[in-house]
Structure 1
């Protein structure tokens, strides 16, 4: 499997990486030799810079250095870092910064609403503020006077108006109407950007559907705006939108809409034309949607996907074990979801540690005891090879699984790089946080990535109730 490009990838850095690889091969360094031998087609005895560049390109999943260079040029055009934009003295820029999702901490739109109430002139300051407030008539006047504004990049994030419209979370007068005006004036329905320069893109459709790791709210008119975008040509095979919305509840409205407009079919639209194999093919996206719904026990979504012809034996990504949807449901401890898949003809059989993990996730103590009695080394293997199991159980909200894991000897304070309590705090799961503290979770434990406590994670995610409990 190819490595993922680092955040904020730099072509200069990649060129230096090739030079360092070449020096390492010539010096006989074990790691450099192993990398080159795995990815270079010929002898290394006369390796030159061009050969080292080919190795680096293949390392990141590109067939040639030229293709990697072209990809980096495209990244330079579309990379944005909205989460790094700081406060501005310009009121219109500050309003937009606060009004829009950046997927870095809780939404700040309430502050944007207060700023707008105190300074109503902000709403008409530019085509971008007009779009963010859903002022269809105002946008229509602006693009009629200057048609290029429909696709003009500006504001604090360097976005097009359509992105400010779909990522804004302040009240909007007519979001769908504003989207239609922009699209009719030439806005790109597939407008988007590469967060930190990485795929998949955050598109206008992604913004409308919301979600993500911090459970960011969907646009108040999410399905209406999404339909306008799709009718105008937005590609339904939007991997980031699928992932982000897939973490919110178990609704199916967005799935039915995407399926109506071709999810799982076609060539993948303009973003796949730009990014090539860096993005999954549409059929692969549909498989991933089935496996993800199964893994999270989202029974309504599983039924919806199967009813629309999604493959019942979809497999997950090789990086995550290539489990079938049925196996994913079992590993998540989701008995009902597994039964639905099995009744639809899904196959899969867990063995060994996977079988034990599934029993723990179900909270099935009797089955676990039977497995342990047949393999006395099973518990030790679980503790050493499935070290994140308790954290995973906390992430899925499986309190019986957390208790069973603790009985087996899993450390409730293991930080890999964060603890189970960190994950409960991030999810806003008060019941799980209370259970973990009861089991001995340390509220003052800091994760090894951000050096923050669970309390700080809860505050960062905007979960006041959990933060109050952790602050006791």
Structure 2
């Protein structure tokens, strides 16, 4: 079972949670008792002497099972691993960084809500003003995907290819694969830069645990990009296919779970097609699966998420692709993507079809919805924003302008 721990989990926090559960059961709080009955493997035995006695070890076991672990020791073991591998990019104070580290921080996807094109433009501007940034350390040279600078850094110092550093404590290949700055380099130059690092010993499965989450963000994850913030704020690498192919040729494991999650939101299947070509369907355990053990989702859980999302969002082509490669797609019903009868109908968060089309930048659908009477001035209840606001946040400039004109037309 996969871990469901909160961001940046700590042992002290979980100790406190177990003691709070112990006190709750001792106080005959029905909520605490229900938690034990829901998660403890033998609740009747654990609660046999409650409320007079409810053992701390039973409280700890309940907490561990609630977070997806088989036992308290298994949870503690994961936290020990995560302590070494976890990074929270949002905790880095970029204003206090030296210029070269600020350049690296601005260059890359951090997978926070601050990811956006202006950051990468600012990084490119820093490099234009001071080209020598790439010579100040290997992580800056990697973020810039500068093969000449990397060759200078690695000459006689191949160990730098596996050295963690820069603002996030990443190895150089991570900065290269997560970088989104436009330096004008060709695909050949970027591939050459990555190849230099791999030839010097860089790990094609390198990665980190984002805020302690148990699906690792690997170099492949960075290359394939995308995610919950949308394809403009968290775009795939401009040379994603070539760079991913290089990493897979060098042995990157195709069962990259965070990649599959980040890329599942849109109907494009190019990532799956490439990963299946490299053995995703029947690949053995990945290095990360071996290290993280029960904390990481099982393959069955991984595929269940993919199948459910594809079915719920009408991705028939993806379901067929998964089925061709032996993934069980039975038991789900494909929800056809249809034009809404009421263009102003709201979902559970008060958003309309126009909000969602704006987020995705679907210009044709936006025009059809407007023609059918969709109100461009409607505000959702979660963010308090119009469809135009959604488009602007998602950096869908064409959609934002289309909606701005529609709103102005209504008010005029």
Aligned: 1:176 with 2:220: no
The equivalent residue for 1:257 is: 274
Alpha-carbon distance in 2 for matches of 1:314, 1:414 = 27
2:140 maps to 129
Instruction: Give me the whole-angstrom Cα distance separating, in 1, the residues matched to 2:373 and 2:26.
Output: 54
Q: Secondary structure at the match of 2:282?
A: coil
Tell me what 1:272 maps to.
Answer: 289
Instruction: Choose from 141, 166, 170 the match for 1:159.
Output: 170
Partner of 1:51: 58
**Structure-1 separation of matches of 2:67 and 2:274:** 34
Secondary structure class of the residue paired with 1:264: helix
Q: What whole-Å deviation, never above 9, does each CA across 1:26-75 have from its counterpart, x for those lacking one?
A: 00001100111233322312321111001100111111111111111222
Secondary structure of 2:208's match? strand
1:142 pairs, out of 153, 164, 184, with 153
2:21 is equivalent to residue 13 of structure 1: no
- Classify the secondary structure of the residue corresponding to 2:226: coil
Q: CA deviation at 1:207?
A: 0.8
Gaps spanning 5+ residues in structure 2: where? none
User: Does 1:233 find its partner at 2:251?
Assistant: yes
**CA distance 1:299–1:422, shift in 2 (3 Å):** closer
Residue in structure 2 matched with residue 463 of structure 1 by the alignment: 396
Alpha carbons 1:3, 1:59 under 8 Å: kept: no
How does 1:240-319 map onto structure 2 within 5 Å? Answer: 240-252=258-270, 254-282=271-299, 284-286=301-303, 288-290=305-307, 292-298=309-315, 300-307=317-324, 309-311=325-327, 313-315=328-330
SS at match of 1:158: coil
177 and 429 in structure 1: CA distance in 2 versus 1, 3 angstrom threshold: same
Task: Indicate conservation of the 8 Å contact 1:99/1:109, yes or no.
Answer: yes
**For the aligned residues, what is the CA RMSD?**
2.9
* Matching residue of 1:97: 105
Contact map agreement 1:154 1:160 (CA 8 A) in 2: yes
Residues 414 and 314 (structure 1), Cα distance of their counterparts in 2 relative to 1, 3 Å cut: closer
In the alignment, structure 1 segments of 5+ residues that lack a partner are 316-322, 334-360, 363-399
Q: Tell me what 1:427 maps to.
A: 360
User: What secondary structure, in the 3-state scheme, does the structure 1 residue paired with 2:180 have?
Assistant: coil
Partner of 2:84: 77
What is the aligned partner in structure 2 of residue 199 from structure 1? 214
**Residue-by-residue CA offset, 1:246-274 (whole Å, 9 max, x unaligned):** 3345343x333311322132343121122
Counting only pairs closer than 5 Å after superposition, residues 277-426 of structure 1 correspond to structure 2 as 277-282=294-299, 284-286=301-303, 288-290=305-307, 292-298=309-315, 300-307=317-324, 309-311=325-327, 313-315=328-330, 323-324=331-332, 327=333, 329=334, 331=335, 333=336, 361-362=337-338, 400=339, 402=340, 404-405=341-342, 412-413=345-346, 416=349, 420-426=353-359
- Are the counterparts in 2 of residues 250 and 299 from structure 1 also a CA contact under 8 Å? no
Task: Encode CA deviations 1:79-137: one digit per residue, 9 max, x unaligned.
Answer: 22224545436332232222212233433323322322222122322111111222224
- Quick one: distance in 2 between partners of 1:34 and 1:225? 50
> What is the CA–CA distance in structure 2 between the aligned matches of 1:429 and 1:257, rounded to whole Å?
26
Kindly indicate whether the alpha-carbon contact (under 8 Å) linking 2:2 and 2:297 is maintained by their aligned counterparts in 1: no
How far apart, CA to CA, are the structure 2 residues paired with 1:272 and 1:185? 25
- Provide the rounded CA distance (Å) in 1 between the counterparts of 2:227 and 2:104: 20
Q: Deviations over 1:206-228 (max 9, x none)?
A: 11112223113222222222122
For residue 235 of structure 1, give the secondary structure of its aligned residue in structure 2: coil
* 1:64 is aligned to 2:64: no
**2:232 is aligned with 1:190:** no
Whole-Å Cα distance in 1 between the matches of residues 294 and 369 of structure 2? 42
Provide the residue aligned with 2:225 in structure 1. 210
Shift of 1:439: 4.6
Shift of 1:196: 2.4
Q: What is the number of equivalent residue pairs in this alignment? A: 386
**SS of residue in 2 equivalent to 1:314:** coil
Structure of greater relative contact order (alpha carbons < 8 Å, 6+ residues apart): 2
